[in-house]
Structure 1
Amino acid sequence: MVKSALQASAFGKEFHWGVAISAAQNEGAVLEGGRSNSIWDVFARRKGVIKKAAKPSTACDFFHRYRDDLLLVKALGFNSFRFSISWSRVLPDGSGKANPAGIAFYQELIDECYALGLTPFVTLYHWDLPQVLQAEGGWESPLINRWFRHFAKVCAKNFPAVKHWIVLNEPSGFTTLGHLLGIHAPGRRTMDGFLKAVHHAAIAQADGGRVLRQYIPDTKIGTSFSCSEVIPFTDSPSDIAAAKRIDLFINRLFIEPLLGKGFPEDDRGIVQKMNRLNKSWKYASQMQFDMDFIGIQNYFPIVVKQNPFIPLIQASEVKPKDRKVPVTAMGWEINADSFQHIIRRFWKYGAIKEIMVTENGAAFKDTLQQGRVNDQPRIDYYRQYLEALMRCKREGVKLGGYFAWTLMDNFEWAEGYEARFGLVHVDLKTQLRTVKDSGFWWRDFLKI
């Protein structure tokens, strides 16, 4: 296997090289150990919402196999491991007493990370709200911030050994996909509900930071954003304006309140229109918190053009297939330069102490043949994106780490098990793990 000229050591001795997973996508064991249903367990039962009617009930069985899976993380050369805490496992009733069995599971997982020399990066919320809270309104309820603070407090008090926390995973993702478009759990499709969820999530990412800081003063706290460079299809004023409107929702909606800038505004008054729809759109000081790092999660750029038939934003995407650019199996554009551009753009806010790439990766049509998965396109992808990351470092961006998405093929939300992002292939019938060529590439790359 040909090694890249790029060296992991060039990023520095303290750099966090990791892989990321999430509870809902990997753990399985959905009703074991006192865990209650999450919104994804319930959403997946609906007809036609998940490809091939897939369900996360078993997933990768990480709940039972985490020790062996952590050995894989270590064997592949990584020094850090990102995972999330299932709110339903720790607080089965959503907001009451902690579940001892759930607490014990995560304590053992954290201990095992440290025993192997892996730094745990723990995400508080990675999209799996307890269904009992959804029944009371979920992220659209005015009580959600009280519930979330309690959850954060329970985690902070029980897991003080964790020194790296991520408060929310992609708030723009779970609010838009779950409350506006309805293609993710909980499957809601109302503008009013979306605006309430955005408002409450913006407060939650700051509240989570405040709770963690109170109970674990020596921890590093961040939050993660899904972000994409938004590019106008042409140089026309209408397409440029359309790109700015999309950028407001995709990239600016949560970072600017966090930095104390309040919700973003534009010359068409979109936010003002949203203000009139949602009377609770306020409390700017509650949405501000001084994070130790910002997590960037980037997979593709978005090219947009004006579309007067789309309500409010009057813009639509020009699909990569129509532009004839390289894509992954998901149809997502492969563009490492754009990855560099979005990191640079966030760094230019000026109030960010450090950037972590908390997710980046690609799905391809992997095939297991004679015990091997030859996924050269994924290797090429990672090489290009890491080279772009090094260019960011040379430009002066303070980078703290990079986490590949993901360790192993898992439950990929509405895609079910059809989209394979892993460095490790998983046979869903036998749970057999097979390291792909890309996993071995990482092992060689990380030999410092």
Structure 2
Amino acid sequence: MRFPKGFLWGAATAAYQIEGAPLADGAGASIWHRFSHTPGTILNGDTGDGACDHYHRWQEDIEWMQRLGLNAYRFSVAWGRVLPTGRGAVNPKGLDFYKRLVDGLLRAGITPMITLYHWDLPAELQDMGGWANRDCAKWFADYACLMFRELGDRVSLWATLNEPWVVMALGYLWGQHAPGVRDIGAAAKAGHHMLLGHGRAVQALRAQGLPNAQIGIVTNLGPQQPASDSPQDQMVAALWHNFINRYFLDPIFRGEYPDTVLNFIGEFAPKVAADDMQVIGTPIDFLGVNYYTRNVVAYDASDPIGSRTVHQEGKLHTEMGWEVYPEGLYEILKWVHEEYGPIPLYITENGAAFPDAPNAQGAVDDPLRVDYIRAHLEQAHRALQEGAPLRGYFYWSLMDNFEWAFGYSKRFGLLYVDFATQKRTMKTSGRWYAEFIASQRG
């Protein structure tokens, strides 16, 4: 399979998951720093204090990217590193870290894609309500404006938010992620204000007049399939599809939320001011698709949402308990393209956690991950051949890291990280990916 010339071959990370040193050099605490230091929130009591120590080892990590043959790297900026309280005074040392990182990537021939928000809201902003406070949209746009001003001459690919659905659902509805809120009203507000912040950030980029800059948003998408042909199963599958796949895309591309979801949440539906949808719908340049698995659902009257996920017996599952379903990547790319038109697409995350461990010789052989990447690239290529405007693929993740509520127990990396010594080892999957990328250039 051949991908087009100029296709981006990358890997992705997020600041809190890899950087470590969360309070170093004047950085402000984030909600994930606070959340992970709250007993009972993270498996094994892990925190992001050490992570992969990328804050001090970024040069070594760029060398690993070069060995992998990457021509692109997606990473996020920790908002609180550059604005310790989330607004106001800039922290020059924090800003300088990202300037050095970007310059190092460019010297190495690697195109940076910056995610402005990958879940680590400055804790002081959370004390004022976080994303449930409408003002957070303005705070985010101001922060985005700062980053465009400081790095817009060197960075051409910008993503506003990473997976706002996960922030809304896991952070504000179910409380499994920071800030640990369980409030449907707050969740609906947070979702709307994130979209508003996204739109304002897009407008801020346009106002900068940067001719080469492109901006988009990164969403988690996946097929939501009924367990049977029964009307009830089909009904709940449609609800989940509208909730996960359409809830953030319809406002951006169509100027409205899906009716089925609004009807379901009733009185808790977000309050939409007069020009909100116009701001939210400010045209974007690309859409980032994070794909991991599908969701097969059945009607269940005993469940608060009226449905349950049906485990697919006999199928391969990752350490996260997610079914390996490569066809879903093809299905979701085709759906997005047919539903929302010719917007360029990037696969901004796709990856798997498996029980990796070094052998007696210190090598890390992960054939399941090799199969996973190959199968998903085949499905991406299939979608591309059928007209999906796919521009790049970013494997999640560059290296093993802090996997949110699961701490360091789930390994997604192309590089194995010994967290006690911070030694990186390229896994078999990393070598396979490097060879595949090289074959695309040959």
- The SS at the match of 1:403 is strand
Letter of the structure 2 residue corresponding to residue 387 of structure 1: E
* From 88, 98, 104, the counterpart of 1:96: 88
Greater shift, 126-135 or 206-215, is seen at 206-215
1:63 aligned partner: 55
Give the deviation of 1:64 after TM superposition: 0.4
- The SS at the match of 2:26 is coil
Question: Map of 1:166-177 to 2, 5 A cutoff?
Answer: 166-177=159-170
- The SS at the match of 1:342 is helix
* From 400, 406, 428, the counterpart of 2:391: 400
Letter of the structure 1 residue corresponding to residue 76 of structure 2: S
Cα 1:40–1:348 shift into 2, 3 Å:
same
What TM-score results when the alignment is normalised by the length of structure 1? 0.95
Query: For residues 103-129 of structure 1, what are the alpha-carbon distances to aligned partners after superposition, in whole Å with 9 as ceiling and x for unaligned?
Result: 111111100010000000000000000
Query: For residues 136-156 of structure 1, what are the alpha-carbon distances to aligned partners after superposition, in whole Å with 9 as ceiling and x for unaligned?
Result: 110111210111111111111
Give the deviation of 1:272 after TM superposition: 3.3
Give the deviation of 1:218 after TM superposition: 2.5
Contact kept? 1:260, 1:285, Cα under 8 Å = no
Letter of the structure 1 residue corresponding to residue 354 of structure 2: F
2:21 and 2:39 mapped to 1: Cα distance?
22
2:319 aligned partner: 329
Query: For residues 278-303 of structure 1, what are the alpha-carbon distances to aligned partners after superposition, in whole Å with 9 as ceiling and x for unaligned?
Result: 46245322221211110000000000
2:145 and 2:259 mapped to 1: Cα distance?
33
* From 360, 369, 374, the counterpart of 2:350: 360
1:342 and 1:284 mapped to 2: Cα distance?
25
2:68 aligned partner: 76
Question: Map of 1:153-164 to 2, 5 A cutoff?
Answer: 153-160=145-152, 161-164=154-157
1:181 aligned partner: 174
2:201 aligned partner: 208
1:435 aligned partner: 426
1:229 equivalent in alignment to 2:219: no
Question: Map of 1:161-310 to 2, 5 A cutoff?
Answer: 161-215=154-208, 216-266=210-260, 270-272=261-263, 274=265, 276-278=267-269, 280-282=271-273, 283-310=276-303
Greater shift, 149-158 or 202-211, is seen at 202-211
2:126 and 2:54 mapped to 1: Cα distance?
25
1:391 and 1:24 mapped to 2: Cα distance?
34
* From 387, 408, 421, the counterpart of 2:378: 387
Query: For residues 21-49 of structure 1, what are the alpha-carbon distances to aligned partners after superposition, in whole Å with 9 as ceiling and x for unaligned?
Result: 11010011111111011000000112221
Greater shift, 401-410 or 95-104, is seen at 95-104
1:3 aligned partner: none
Contact kept? 1:18, 1:81, Cα under 8 Å = yes
- Deviant stretches of 4+, over 3 Å: 272-275
Give the deviation of 1:275 after TM superposition: 5.2
1:319 and 1:208 mapped to 2: Cα distance?
39
Contact kept? 2:137, 2:198, Cα under 8 Å = no
1:254 and 1:214 mapped to 2: Cα distance?
24
Query: For residues 359-399 of structure 1, what are the alpha-carbon distances to aligned partners after superposition, in whole Å with 9 as ceiling and x for unaligned?
Result: 00000000111210010000000000000011001101111
- The SS at the match of 2:393 is strand
2:287 and 2:430 mapped to 1: Cα distance?
26
Contact kept? 1:171, 1:225, Cα under 8 Å = yes
2:91 and 2:416 mapped to 1: Cα distance?
32
How many equivalent pairs are there?
434
Residue ranges of structure 1 left out of the alignment (5+ in a row): 1-5
1:136 and 1:163 mapped to 2: Cα distance?
32
Cα 1:279–1:337 shift into 2, 3 Å:
closer
1:40 equivalent in alignment to 2:53: no
Greater shift, 342-351 or 30-39, is seen at 342-351
Contact kept? 1:60, 1:426, Cα under 8 Å = yes
Residue ranges of structure 2 left out of the alignment (5+ in a row): none
Letter of the structure 2 residue corresponding to residue 244 of structure 1: A
2:414 and 2:239 mapped to 1: Cα distance?
36
C-alpha RMSD of matched pairs (Å): 1.2
What TM-score results when the alignment is normalised by the length of structure 2? 0.96
1:275 and 1:200 mapped to 2: Cα distance?
18
Contact kept? 1:230, 1:303, Cα under 8 Å = yes
Contact kept? 2:342, 2:389, Cα under 8 Å = no
